[in-house]
Structure 1
Amino acid sequence: MRKAHRILIGLHLFVGIGAMAGGLGAILSPNNPMGMTTEALKSSPFTNFLIPGIFLFVVIGMGNVLSAIALYRFKYGSYVSNVMSWILVLWIIVQCIMLDAINILHVIYFVIGIIEAILAFVILYNQRYFPTNILRRFIQSS
């Protein structure tokens, strides 16, 4: 397994396990998950953290764990990885908008999402999979 695969699997597991823990905290205590108050949601359509917690647990958490498994076991796992990377980036952007705040964890996970997307793209490029095969042909013809 190449180095990019190992790093990407590690990042997906890190994000996934952390998101599942955070999501579970929000699901079990939607009005005060891990010390956050519902006052933080004043700019959002939510009155508590239940729905964001479910999304965090299922989509971000389980999605990233499944992405790590897909990268390890399946030929086209880099596609799953790429999609999950961009979902993480979008989640962080939406979260910052809804909370009307940016903190260091937002920045860290945004950067992790971008790194995941770049690594997934590099893997797709090296495997000559669509759409990177088109880019490769364009570069070679120039």
Structure 2
Amino acid sequence: MGMKMIYRLLLVFHGFVGIGAIAGGWAAIVNPLEPLGAPVDMLKNSPFENFFIPGLILFTVIGLGNILSALTILFKSKYQGYISSVFGWALVIWIVVQCIMIQGIHFLHILFFIIGLVQGGLAATILFKESLFPANILINYYKKTGKEAHEE
């Protein structure tokens, strides 16, 4: 897979996740007792009494973070691989924590968990292809150990 395709996929995923998280987060902020029909009793095993704080986190970290990631792709930031990685793994962690707190797993959890893994994987590919830290350490190590193995 070429680098253009990797960047395009990341742009689509970040845009999709960002827009959805902003919409879902906003719904929870403006209606913390029943956002988009979700009953507040879903939170009975969590530290939250309503959806306001989770909605705020969803809106800012997952929503705005993924929009920021999409913008770094459009503006060709040299830090784009790192930023995509951070927000891809943030999505994975968000989904795992959410499933633990509501003590359930639904189709959308699986879908967004996979999207987060794909974002993390694509970001790692960028770090390796561009020989950026920490990938450069592994690349240099394998180059060095490969040469030593051939010299013996």
TM-score scaled to structure 2, two decimals? 0.90
Q: Which residue of 1 aligns with 2:40?
A: 38
**RCO comparison, higher one (Cα < 8 Å, 6+):** 1
How many residue pairs match? The answer is: 142
For 1:33-66, what per-residue CA distance to the aligned partner results, in whole angstroms no more than 9, with x for missing partners?
0011111011001111000000000110000000
| 1:95 pairs with 2:95 | no
Q: Which structure 2 segments of 5+ residues have no match?
A: 147-152
| 1:29 pairs with 2:31 | yes
SS at match of 1:107: helix
Partners of 2:13 and 2:38 in 1: CA distance: 25
What's the offset of the Cα at 1:77?
Answer: 1.1
Larger radius of gyration: 2
TM-score scaled to structure 1, two decimals? 0.96
What's the offset of the Cα at 1:72?
Answer: 2.5
For 1:86-110, what per-residue CA distance to the aligned partner results, in whole angstroms no more than 9, with x for missing partners?
1111000110011111111001000
Aligned pairs for 1:1-12 within 5 A? 2-12=4-14
For the aligned residue pairs, the C-alpha RMSD in angstroms reads: 1.0
Aligned pairs for 1:1-142 within 5 A? 2-73=4-75, 74-141=77-144, 142=146
- Sequence identity percentage: 48
The runs of at least 4 consecutive aligned structure 1 residues that moved more than 6 Å come to: none
What's the offset of the Cα at 1:75?
Answer: 1.3
Partners of 1:138 and 1:118 in 2: CA distance: 21
